[in-house]
Amino acid sequence: MNFAIVRYILGFILQFEGFFLILPAIVGLLYQETKDALIYFGVAILCIATGHLTIRKKPANTRLFTREGFTSVALGWVVLSLFGALPFVFTGDIPNFIDALFETISGFTTTGASILADVESLSHANLFWRSFTHWIGGMGVFVFIMAILPMMGGSTMNLMRAESPGPSVSRLLPKVKDTAKILYLIYIGITLTQIVILFVCGMNLFDAVTLSFGTTGTGGFGTKNDSLAGYSPICQNVVTLFMIISGINYAVFFCILRKQFKDAFSIEEVRWYLIIILASVGLITWNIADMYPTVGESLRHAFFQVGSIITTTGYSTTDFDLWPQLSKNILVILMFIGACAGSTGGGIKVSRIVILCKAIRKELDIMIHPRMVKKIKMDGHVLPHETQRSTNVFITAYFILFFASMLLISLDDYSFTTNFTAVAATLNNIGPGLDLVGPTQNFGLFSPFSKCVLMFDMLAGRLELFPMLIILLPSCWKKY
């Protein structure tokens, strides 16, 4: 392990977090929350100063191998969250550090699971920071750093692979820095577009900004206790559209920008993603039709909740925990499927589900025709064996972690539905579950130990498991 390069990268992360913290400080000044503003400025200075001390000595060897890349990403997100939780504690809005850390990790991992019973009691500075963590974590802080600052040349691809969601990561452009830049330009463009549309539709600017951070980052933290239930139907529909857009592989938007429309609309994963959404909406609309005055209202709530759950955003317009069992079971299934690879969404990812289904079909065909030679294809190309192997390993590790987490939090003695959906909601970075962690409830009921388990799940889910699992191996920390 090259500890010097890991230290160096963590220093850059702290410095960037310090500059990010200046924005909520400015928001605090604008809303005359002087005490909170000063606290945010103080924590920002602490992060910048600590980061500066950490990067003063540049490592002699700046080469990044897979081990350093995965370790830097895992520790980077932990350090980011530890310092990011300080403003919540110092302002007194979340005085317990474990709770503040849970809220912060939930923000950065774009999970949206909260321990707060009264969100509206937070200051504007804390509400802004809470939602801004979604936006930072959505595309990823390492992608942001690579877009701004070329640190280690081509070896930074190991950082992008460790942080980016999906079974495989590739460059959109020859240089990693250029790929990071185009990703962030698309990300910023989608965010600004949503802010403008929500503001034009009658939403106040503060809510339009914070909700857009949560939508584009597929996070789910809102500024109201009822999430989005109190907003107008047109604002809800706008958020629905942008949630679904944010769950699409960003390679599609890149192809559209380059006018490669044939390539954009030939991506198999995106087609299945949209088919799953439409089929789920149709079934749920039919199933909940008797619960709302009109079919149009049933359709609106169904579209919103399907879009919110499959993209792992986690906003709600209604208490879907009161829906019939069929509708709730569909939503739970969508929790596991998740969004597209290469998007800001969580979950297993549609591409992995498609690969697994094709692998099952291949095995069935071979059973019938033992001499058949059949290759699995995606988008007209033969899928490399490495991708198939990594998909199988990911699914195995995913369910081992899932059931281990369920067993651990069951020590709190809550219902199976509560425990199952709490782990599903955190490991898949969704936010709300069912029963005691439903859309009108929160995660404050869990013990500090269970909260730590769920925090690990949120980080593991956001980083595609392996970076968080690798740092648990003793061999990871051995020097070369």
Q: Which residues of 340-374 are buried (b: 16+ CB within 10 A; e: fewer)?
A: bbbbbbbbbbbbbbbbeebeeeeeeeeeeeeeeee
- Count Cα atoms within 13 angstroms, Cβ side, for 20: 26
Distance CA(174)–CA(341), nearest Å, equals 20
Q: How confident is the model at residue 328 (pLDDT cuts 50, 70, 90)?
A: very high
Q: Which residues of 286-303 are buried (b: 16+ CB within 10 A; e: fewer)?
A: ebbeeebeeeebbbbbbb
DSSP 340: -
* Type of residue found at 343: S
Task: Compute the average pLDDT of residues 306-335.
Answer: 95
- Render pLDDT for 3-41 as a digit per residue (tens, 0 to 9): 888 888 899 899 999 999 999 999 999 999 999 999 999
Alpha helices (H) along 140-260: 141-148, 157-163, 176-200, 205-216, 233-246, 250-257
User: What's the pLDDT score for residue 172?
Assistant: 56
C-alpha 341: how far from its chain's center? 12
Residues 6+ apart with CB under 8 A from 139: 183, 184, 187, 217, 344
Whether the predicted pLDDT of 148 surpasses 50: yes
User: What's the pLDDT score for residue 169?
Assistant: 45
Q: How confident is the model at residue 124 (pLDDT cuts 50, 70, 90)?
A: very high
CB 251, CB 243: distance < 8 Å: no
Distance CA(296)–CA(224), nearest Å, equals 25
Residues 6+ apart with CB under 8 A from 90: 39, 42, 43
Phi/psi at 211 (5° precision):
-70, -35
**E strands of 45-165, at which residues?**
none
Q: How confident is the model at residue 304 (pLDDT cuts 50, 70, 90)?
A: very high
C-alpha 22: how far from its chain's center? 23
CB 76, CB 8: distance < 8 Å: no
User: What's the pLDDT score for residue 424?
Assistant: 96
C-alpha 48: how far from its chain's center? 25
CA-derived radius of gyration, the chain? 22
* Type of residue found at 364: L
DSSP 444: T
Whether the predicted pLDDT of 159 surpasses 60: no
Percent of the chain with pLDDT over 70: 92
For residue 252, the tally of other CB atoms under 10 A from its CB is 22
Distance CA(420)–CA(274), nearest Å, equals 26
Distance CA(195)–CA(209), nearest Å, equals 6
For residue 378, what are the β-bridge partners? 381
Please give the biggest Cα pair distance in the chain: 75
Task: Compute the average pLDDT of residues 335-361.
Answer: 90
Please choose, from the candidates 254, 134, 243, the residue with its C-alpha nearest in 3D space to the C-alpha of residue 184.
254
Q: Give the range among 266-275, 304-313, 318-327, 470-479 with minimum mean pLDDT.
A: 470-479
Please choose, from the candidates 467, 474, 472, the residue with its C-alpha nearest in 3D space to the C-alpha of residue 67.
467
Q: How confident is the model at residue 144 (pLDDT cuts 50, 70, 90)?
A: low
User: What's the pLDDT score for residue 147?
Assistant: 57
Average pLDDT, the chain: 89
What would the DSSP string read from start to end of 205-220?
HHHHHHHHHHHHTT--
CB 80, CB 13: distance < 8 Å: yes
Q: Which of the pair, 107 or 384, is modelled with greater confidence?
A: 107
Task: Compute the average pLDDT of residues 307-328.
Answer: 95
Q: Which long-range contacts (CB under 8 A, 24 or more apart) does 291-298 make?
A: 291/322, 291/323
Distance CA(286)–CA(296), nearest Å, equals 11
For residue 181, the tally of other CB atoms under 10 A from its CB is 18
Distance CA(254)–CA(267), nearest Å, equals 12
Residues 6+ apart with CB under 8 A from 144: 16, 136, 180, 184
Distance CA(107)–CA(77), nearest Å, equals 11
DSSP 339: S
Task: Compute the average pLDDT of residues 453-475.
Answer: 91
Distance CA(162)–CA(142), nearest Å, equals 10
CB 425, CB 334: distance < 8 Å: no
Q: Which of the pair, 125 or 159, is modelled with greater confidence?
A: 125
